[in-house]
Amino acid sequence: MLAYIIRRIALMVPTILGIMLVSFVVVQFAPGGPVERVIAQLTGDDVSATQRVSGGGGDFAGRTAAPGAGASDALSSKYRGAQGLDPAFIKELEAQFGFDKPAHERFLKMITSYATFDFGRSYFRDISVIDLIIEKLPVSISLGLWMTLITYAISIPLGIAKAMRDGSRFDVWTSAIVIVGYAIPSFLFAILLIVLFAGGSFFDLFPLRGLTSENFWQMSWPERIADYLWHLALPLIAMATGAFATMTLLTKNSFMEEIRKQYVMTARMKGLTESRVLYGHVFRNAMLIVIAGFPAAFVSAFFAGALLIETIFSLDGLGLLGFESVLNRDYPVVFATLYMFSLAGLVVGLISDLTYMLVDPRIDFETREV
């Protein structure tokens, strides 16, 4: 067991390096980097950039560059819209963002810093990246963790019930419901919930934005819990509606496959009760494939699945932060969130593998090839 864990942890290093290297190379060829953003702000070609830089408190907020009559043609053509700007100022911008160094030096410096979780500072926000991530983390943890727990808590019992009643009306109707829920886009369902229950055309029962109320810290503990769940209700419903289908049908099919096996028939012939056969023998074998899907479900709920929901319900989490950072070419935030989610996915994958042993102690990690 220990040797397997060490091998898996050792393999995380080249995996993380590969992910970061590929992403870094792709970014080098992406147009419209941070230098171009500042140039667009200075020349008035990018209103959104003006708002970001001037509002973020960065070093170039409100700054103008003196035009240089002897500007180098090569330097001017390197950045779109740089004509008429002092070449010395362009070089200063490159030094500010670290682009005065070769790409391989920048990558090695980034990886060395990331090994100690030093992510630097945001290009367009006056805050360190790690502080920015910590600031957004509660929203993403709330959405990802609660959605995963709710999905598993409902899908697993429902999948077992469907397997035991295969072909019945219950099975047919529940399949129709979960498939319809899966077919409805989460963002569209979120808009419907807002219209119906958040002050749209019908009822005003739930808050429209934020994770907590403004007077949250003045509330008692029971009121804080109620307020927290009140704000999470609609986002979680919107996210979880489409998540039931895959897990429910996966659980059902896994249980049906185990129920048909010879050892189940033998257990029944010995006179064991149906619940003993189901939960004493079938459950641990059928749950292996369900557990295997946990890392993907958790990481997806933690980041990708929450992006549109965070936007619609004005929840400022990591999903929205990563998306805005890509649009704004805020590379320290982009790479930091990518690094964190990649590392989290690898760690959760290891935890998932170790959970196999808890479900089925017959699994031997010492003889398993990585």
Q: Does 201 share its domain with 299?
A: yes
Q: Does 195 share its domain with 321?
A: yes
Cβ pair 22, 67 in contact under 8 A: no
State whether residue 204 is helix, strand or coil: strand
CATH of the domain at 157: 1.10.3720.10
State whether residue 172 is helix, strand or coil: helix
CA 249 to chain CA centroid, Å, is 24
Q: Does 102 share its domain with 58?
A: yes
Q: Which domain holds residue 45?
A: 34-116
Alpha-carbon torsion, ordered 202, 143, 338, 135, to 10 deg: 90
What's the pLDDT tens digit per position in 341-370? 888 878 877 877 777 666 666 666 665 554
State whether residue 249 is helix, strand or coil: helix
In a domain, 328, yes or no: yes
CA 17 to chain CA centroid, Å, is 19
Q: Does 108 share its domain with 143?
A: no
Structural domains counted in the chain: 2
If one compares 41 and 169, the residue with the highest pLDDT of the two is: 169
In a domain, 20, yes or no: no
If one compares 39 and 216, the residue with the highest pLDDT of the two is: 216
Q: Does 339 share its domain with 273?
A: yes
- Tell if the pTM clears 0.75, that is, is over it: no
Q: Which of 116, 146, 176 is the last residue of a domain?
A: 116
In a domain, 332, yes or no: yes
What's the pLDDT tens digit per position in 228-263? 889 888 888 888 887 788 888 888 888 888 888 888
Give which of 346, 328, 354, 250 is closest to 35, Cα–Cα.
328
Cβ pair 309, 315 in contact under 8 A: yes
In a domain, 4, yes or no: no
Q: Does 108 share its domain with 162?
A: no
In a domain, 19, yes or no: no
Q: Does 169 share its domain with 220?
A: yes
Q: CA-CA distance, 35 to 93, in Å (whole number)?
A: 6
Cβ pair 81, 40 in contact under 8 A: yes
In a domain, 321, yes or no: yes
| Cα-Cα-Cα-Cα dihedral sign, residues 341, 342, 343, 347 | positive
